[in-house]
Structure 1
């Protein structure tokens, strides 16, 4: 008879991906009565990764993500599991107005086909070209990017092919910058927006897909052509999510979060894993979940799996600076019932876009004040990150003043730098992940997760944490002595 033992799992990285995965493992093994302990290793002094909320003289600033879309069931399940439902804070309905900078002027993004036809967003010829999408045949070899990397087209190539050059440059380009801080001409459609590939493959085109989905909705089916839902945060900011995860994991009695513990190397001895860093070497662990960014995971694996490490090191990251600016209400001439603005690359500006944060979420600025959140840098303009804070703030102000009709100097300035901010899914990304997956089959007990791989948003990380929690649990339950 095999004597049951305490099985050990290490989670590297205490961001939302690592914490959510740790909690899912605890919950799954708790259901099955598993005798298991989880140790989370976090390099910083506090967990959370880029999900941090800063408080400065009445201003509430997000270090990373501003929120999440409330359409992902996995995230809503996590919110309920953590007892955070009453702290949810949907974005204001008054801020549904969004703008693009077109030929030096802000144009409101139309929300209906009729409004789009009347708008000055695109010239008549470009609108006619878009209408022609209905008659274009679907591309061959759709959905084969992982197996056949040569079929992996960029987002720009897709947009131009289906809807025309003007649409790709004026509307698609800034959307990609706003989400990924990236270049639509360099990012893989299949990796970044797999739903678009699915729609063309299943329906023959985007307009055909929209018509088919509209019919399904009339029949009561829930379906969307792309990301949907309301941008949502918490009353105390995104840090509420991190704090609740930390608290719930700690209360389990079967887990520990070790902060100030940057992992440097992973080693495999017999059938177990050991985790080492400055001043510590811990193990054995039956399984390891590496939830750190790909470039960090690559360093962890240099000795034990150099080929996998080299693949992970190939995933680039775009640098991003968040420039938070505070103004008196009277100093902002633009309509405050606005979500924000994005800037297409063809406008030759340094900023990627700007959110009117205090309009989107109440309580983010003192009474009578306005909080702006501008994004600068990205994959198309990395050298702007070389500017010091003063010059970066002045550059941002010089571009925002005419757009938002700003008067005078800001009363608050805070700059947050992310030298390796957002993973960039280049063409070949899915093939790379396929190769890494094959590599991991030869490294039993090692799992990878996080925004470097299958989605950069909070929702993507939380959704993957659910599935990975089940996979790790199944692996642990199959080990000798693990009940």
Structure 2
């Protein structure tokens, strides 16, 4: 095979598929991206109405990799990016029903009410805690063993809900917070690992950003560059292998579409693979867990809100027994998210903590969130704007023993040359993770093509 006669079919036009396609295309490899929706972006969706701008999926892009900076430069998006305001560094955790700032300095740590004196003193024992020799353990087990119960309840638990919509009792420390797990493995202590961490060398700038037209501006810019390689409104029915080629059968507005490719990459959710690749028996991935989540965005006049909203947002620990997982102060983060004199709050409900709540109707969810926001932020009256989006299976849960899924994926790829599996279930769930994972897979595929 050569670059000129090798075609790569990519299932899914989310950020994973687009990043892969973008990098392959830059190597003059022919790609076709099949996306079910009318627009690309996958979970990255931006809704706009009458001066309100709501992110239905990820709300921010934390850029700390030169590869991502280079991508934004190449897409002419650096000048259209918006860096989060200085208040974004301030984050609140709910403690006893009150938004309490998360300490960001030694002096604020010593004064914080998030941990008791006993809890703070317990942290001093961390270097002497015995290292685990298990192959894997839960985040809750790891943090409790090394730091105690209070940091788990009032830091890690809400943080895990905010990133993964997950439960630290079930999620794997090895696969979610790999740097912490590695520190213990290599140094026997988190403190020792931090002290020995290599601080030499110039690191890329770190910035929390979005874009003038919202986060979906990123996948739309990538799709614009890829041009006719993007096929939207295509529902994949099946993918079958015959000899050295893969046949894609799809539906496009009631019309049947077929195409053949030398290489197929699926970036679709793991639970959909068995239905599409019927002949390959991919049942080992069918039970890979995902968390359901509802996003409830509410807009208010600023004079309805007592809290100054001077931060990134607030996370709500499970022990506080609220139903909302957390709320972003969206209009404090970035300009243009709410009309003049108004504020936008984006709340999350469901997840692994309360999966049954995620699918409730928008009116009921708005009522639940509003009642809790009224109590926590001193809001009076009803919202002047509301928007809801339900994700039935949004974030894969990297549970303890997740290696079995990664091993199954490796096995599938070895058994079926020319088939690759990628997405947020492999390599990390964040937008930057998906971008770098897509780039890495593009490099592997390019190498395979060049050696064929």
Residue 374 (structure 2) aligned to one of 381, 384, 401: 401
Match of 1:477 in 2: 450
Match of 1:27 in 2: 26
Instruction: Give how far 1:37 is off.
Output: 2.1
Match of 2:407 in 1: 434
Instruction: Give how far 1:172 is off.
Output: 0.7
1:129–1:3 distance in 2 versus 1, CA, 3 Å? closer
1:186–1:4 distance in 2 versus 1, CA, 3 Å? closer
SS class of match (1:247)? helix
Matching of residue 202 in structure 1 with residue 186 in structure 2: yes
Instruction: Give how far 1:41 is off.
Output: 0.5
SS class of match (2:293)? strand
Residue 397 (structure 2) aligned to one of 424, 438, 441: 424
Any conservation in 2 of the 1:90–1:233 contact (CA below 8 Å)? yes
Say which is worse superposed, 50-59 or 199-208, in terms of deviation: 199-208
Matching of residue 450 in structure 1 with residue 423 in structure 2: yes
Instruction: Give how far 1:229 is off.
Output: 3.5
Match of 1:267 in 2: 240
TM-score, normalised relative to structure 2: 0.95
Counterparts of 2:386 and 2:3, CA distance in 1: 57
Instruction: Give how far 1:194 is off.
Output: 1.1
Any conservation in 1 of the 2:294–2:359 contact (CA below 8 Å)? no
Matching of residue 241 in structure 1 with residue 241 in structure 2: no
Aligned-residue RMSD, C-alpha: 1.8
Write the deviation string for residues 41-84 of structure 1: whole angstroms up to 9, x where unpaired. 10111111111211111001112111211212222121112121
SS class of match (2:229)? strand
1:412–1:155 distance in 2 versus 1, CA, 3 Å? same
Match of 2:113 in 1: 120
Residue 229 (structure 1) aligned to one of 206, 218, 230: 206
1:477–1:404 distance in 2 versus 1, CA, 3 Å? same
- Equivalent residues in 2 for 1:22-421, closer than 5 Å: 22-28=21-27, 30=28, 36-141=29-134, 151-213=135-197, 216-217=198-199, 220-221=200-201, 229-250=206-227, 256-278=229-251, 279-303=255-279, 305-306=280-281, 309-421=282-394
Counterparts of 1:53 and 1:123, CA distance in 2: 41
Q: How many residues align?
A: 449
1:476–1:4 distance in 2 versus 1, CA, 3 Å? closer
Instruction: Give how far 1:223 is off.
Output: 7.5
Instruction: Give how far 1:402 is off.
Output: 1.5
Write the deviation string for residues 3-25 of structure 1: whole angstroms up to 9, x where unpaired. 99622110000011101100111
Instruction: Give how far 1:431 is off.
Output: 2.9
Counterparts of 2:449 and 2:260, CA distance in 1: 14
SS class of match (1:264)? strand
Any conservation in 2 of the 1:174–1:352 contact (CA below 8 Å)? yes
1:3–1:456 distance in 2 versus 1, CA, 3 Å? closer
Q: Which runs of 5+ in 1 are unaligned?
A: 31-35, 142-150
